[in-house]
């Protein structure tokens, strides 16, 4: 048997015993590598008599090609087998299984806001949007809060470097523009983000949401205000809610009130959540001050109206039992994705 035949036989034995694609490469190196058997054979060419050199060279090349193609074929074959084995051993794919789409969820403020918008729209209120940057006139002056009025102390905010511009401290800042836009009679709610220069803790945030509402018409009285608030709250909480009014001071309403709701946790008996009073403060409100109507271009002799400033953030805390106000702006998906629209 010639040397070439010996190498071929050895190669065939070896390749037939290979079962993993990785071993094919080792075999290639053993036979075709720089120091491999075929190269070794080629280096013997110098010892072959001249007249046989040509034939010898041809045989070695044929051997080399045979080995090359056998290796390529084997490699392909084994890789295919290995892939099939992986597919077969994997957990079976079931086309009929329902699939889960990981949808995002609405922010709790958005949920409460939409709920309220739906309720107020059903009672004939327009829903308005208003900017977050306002001027001193809209935020204070038009609301009967002149410069240096002590009521401004409660609403320190962020002033922009542009003259007279600030981040609105309450949604009441939109009242004037909306009165001018529609005139009387008028029913509108306007939700919005508000800002105050406040140090934060579980109950205070520098950025929070309110929903303002105004209703202006002939002969609007406090009983209209109570009726709309009660109806809205019963819808939000899906049960009858008892409310009470306490006097409250805001320069843009006269008389002004704090509207409390009976504590939802203890039902009015008194518990830690309501500081044992049985009532929770929810919504400042009152009858729109004649000066505010005048600023808005509405004749206070002819029209009266009420306004309320519902704390959306507060309401969301109560509705969803969120104890720390900082959750809302935390960006924590773990916390915020728990709230789903029913």
> Rounded to whole angstroms, how far apart are CA atoms 192 and 160?
19
Query: Is there a cis peptide before residue 255, judged by omega within 30 degrees of 0?
Result: yes
* Residue in 37, 145, 178, 253 binding ligand PHE, rule: CB under 6 A: 253
Closest distance between ligand PHE and the C-beta of residue 212, in Å? 6
Pick the piece of the chain touching ligand PHE (CB under 6 A) from 68-76, 132-140, 217-225, 250-258: 250-258
In the chain, the DSSP E strands lie at 126-127, 133-135, 165-167, 186-195, 207-217, 243-247, 253-262, 279-288, 304-311
Closest distance between ligand PHE and the C-beta of residue 309, in Å? 3
> Rounded to whole angstroms, how far apart are CA atoms 342 and 337?
14
Sign, Cα dihedral of 280, 285, 287, 290: positive
Residues 309-328 contacting ligand PHE, CB under 6 A: 309
Please choose, from the candidates 56, 71, 94, the residue with its C-alpha nearest in 3D space to the C-alpha of residue 16. 71
Closest distance between ligand PHE and the C-beta of residue 338, in Å? 28
Q: What is the DSSP string of 132-150?
A: SEEEHHHHTGGGT--TT-G
Does 250 help bind ligand PHE (rule: CB under 6 A)?
Answer: yes
Binding mask 180-219 for ligand PHE (x = CB under 6 A): ----------------------------------------
Closest distance between ligand PHE and the C-beta of residue 104, in Å? 30
Closest distance between ligand PHE and the C-beta of residue 308, in Å? 5
Question: Measuring CA to CA, how many Å separate 236 from each of 2, 224, 239, 262, 320?
Answer: 96, 18, 8, 14, 12
> Rounded to whole angstroms, how far apart are CA atoms 53 and 62?
14
* Residue in 38, 178, 189, 285 binding ligand PHE, rule: CB under 6 A: 285
* Size of residue set near ligand PHE by CB under 6 A: 11
Pick the piece of the chain touching ligand PHE (CB under 6 A) from 73-81, 128-136, 236-244, 301-309: 301-309
> Rounded to whole angstroms, how far apart are CA atoms 88 and 86?
5
Pick the piece of the chain touching ligand PHE (CB under 6 A) from 14-22, 267-275, 281-289, 319-327: 281-289
| Three-state DSSP class for residue 60 | helix
> Rounded to whole angstroms, how far apart are CA atoms 262 and 234?
12
* Residue in 11, 125, 308, 328 binding ligand PHE, rule: CB under 6 A: 308
> Rounded to whole angstroms, how far apart are CA atoms 239 and 318?
14
Nearer to ligand PHE, 108 or 284 (CB): 284
Pick the piece of the chain touching ligand PHE (CB under 6 A) from 119-127, 180-188, 265-273, 278-286: 278-286
Nearer to ligand PHE, 8 or 138 (CB): 138
| Three-state DSSP class for residue 122 | helix
* Residue in 28, 64, 138, 170 binding ligand PHE, rule: CB under 6 A: 170
Nearer to ligand PHE, 56 or 303 (CB): 303
* Residue in 251, 286, 296, 305 binding ligand PHE, rule: CB under 6 A: 286
Question: Measuring CA to CA, how many Å separate 248 from each of 11, 258, 286?
Answer: 99, 5, 8
Pick the piece of the chain touching ligand PHE (CB under 6 A) from 181-189, 225-233, 306-314, 316-324: 306-314
> Contact residues for ligand PHE (CB under 6 A)?
170, 172, 250, 253, 256, 284-286, 307-309
């Amino acid at each position: 048997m010639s040397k070439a035949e010996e190498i071929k036989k050895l190669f065939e034995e070896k390749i037939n015993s290979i079962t993993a694609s990785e071993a094919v490469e080792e075999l290639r190196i053993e036979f075709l590598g720089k120091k491999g058997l075929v190269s070794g054979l080629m280096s013997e060419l110098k010892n072959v008599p001249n007249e046989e050199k040509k034939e010898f060279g041809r045989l070695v090349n044929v051997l080399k090609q045979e080995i090359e193609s056998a290796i390529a074929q084997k490699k392909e074959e084994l890789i295919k087998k290995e892939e099939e084995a992986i597919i077969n051993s994997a957990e079976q794919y079931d086309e009929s299984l329902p699939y889960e789409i990981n949808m995002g969820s609405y922010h709790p403020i958005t949920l409460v806001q939409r709920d309220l918008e739906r309720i107020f729209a059903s009672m004939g209120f327009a829903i308005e949007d208003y900017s977050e940057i306002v001027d001193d006139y809209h935020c204070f002056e038009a609301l009967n809060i002149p410069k240096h009025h002590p009521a401004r102390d409660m609403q320190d905010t962020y002033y922009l470097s542009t003259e007279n511009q600030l981040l609105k401290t309450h949604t009441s800042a939109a009242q004037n523009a909306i009165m001018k836009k529609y005139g009387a009679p008028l029913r509108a709610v306007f939700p919005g983000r508000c800002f105050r220069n406040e140090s934060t803790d579980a109950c205070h945030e520098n950025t929070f949401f309110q929903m303002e509402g105004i209703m202006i018409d002939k002969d609007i009285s406090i009983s209209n205000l109570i009726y709309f608030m009660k109806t809205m709250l019963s819808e939000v909480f899906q049960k009858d809610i008892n409310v009470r009014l306490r006097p409250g001071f805001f320069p843009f309403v006269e008389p002004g009130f704090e509207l409390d709701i009976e504590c939802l946790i203890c039902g009015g008996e008194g518990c830690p959540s309501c500081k044992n009073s049985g009532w929770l403060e929810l919504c400042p409100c009152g009858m729109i001050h004649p000066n505010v109507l005048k600023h808005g271009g509405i004749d206070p002799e002819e029209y009266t109206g009420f306004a309320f400033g519902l704390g959306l953030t507060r309401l969301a805390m109560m509705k969803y039992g969120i104890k720390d106000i900082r959750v809302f702006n935390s960006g924590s998906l773990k916390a915020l994705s728990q709230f789903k629209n029913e």
